[in-house]
Amino acid sequence: MPTKWFKRFRETGQLTVFDKSGSWSPALKKAITTFNSLGFGVKLVEDKNQRDANIVVMLAEGGESYPYDGNSLKADFPTEKMHGRTHTHVHRRRLEIDFALIYLPGKVTDASMRQKEVIIVHELLHAAGLNGSFVGGVHDEQQDHEDVGIMSAKFINKGDGAVEMFAPQGTPAMTPIRVGPQTMCKIRALWANESCDRK
């Protein structure tokens, strides 16, 4: 189930991003531009101050740990595979997100710019409230995946792009990014106060 950010961030309609993504930095910049063009109701803005940023994006090679509010946000995923890991920190009393950390796979060296963009936009959507891992509780991140579009649970490389695992034969590779109807519904419910069927 999606989780809202603190009201003060929702009211601005933007989240700030600090870039610690190393060799993935050009792809992160492209992914932020793409994210902002998709009409989600929230814009991402780069922040040069890590301490002030809402979202920190890091390159991980495995075993990294990021301290936040007494928690240890770990890069506990296979960093040689084409996927990332997003941790959202949810305030214990308000039950709203106040920080997100995205780990990108630092051991992947042969991904194209298009493939990196797909992975990053997917993780940015988790950071914006479509649940990834949840600090202080457990969420089933599958709830916010869908078979169609950028929030597929798994992608398959196709040329220098990527397609959803269950895409019909002949589906063109992303990019450009495809957004499934449930993904758009959920993210706009969080950020544009629209009501929709969020099955």
The angle at the Cα of 65, spanning 61 to 66, to the nearest 5 degrees, equals 120
Q: Tens of pLDDT along 142-162?
A: 568 888 999 998 999 999 999
Query: Do residues 18 and 47 lie in contact, with contact meaning Cβ atoms separated by under 8 Å?
Result: yes
CATH of residue 88's domain is 3.40.390.10
List Cβ neighbours of 101 (8 Å cut-off, separation of 6 or more): 55, 56, 58, 66, 68, 73, 86, 87, 89
- Report pTM: 0.92
Residue 198 lies in a domain: no
Residue 82 lies in a domain: yes
Which domain, by its residues, includes 166?
Answer: 7-191
Q: Tens of pLDDT along 161-182?
A: 999 999 999 999 999 999 999 9
How many whole angstroms separate alpha carbon 199 and alpha carbon 195?
A: 12
Phi, psi angles (nearest 5°) of residue 32: -65, -45
Give the pLDDT band of residue 95 (cuts 50, 70, 90): confident
Residue 199 lies in a domain: no
Residue 91 lies in a domain: yes
Tally the domains of the chain: 1
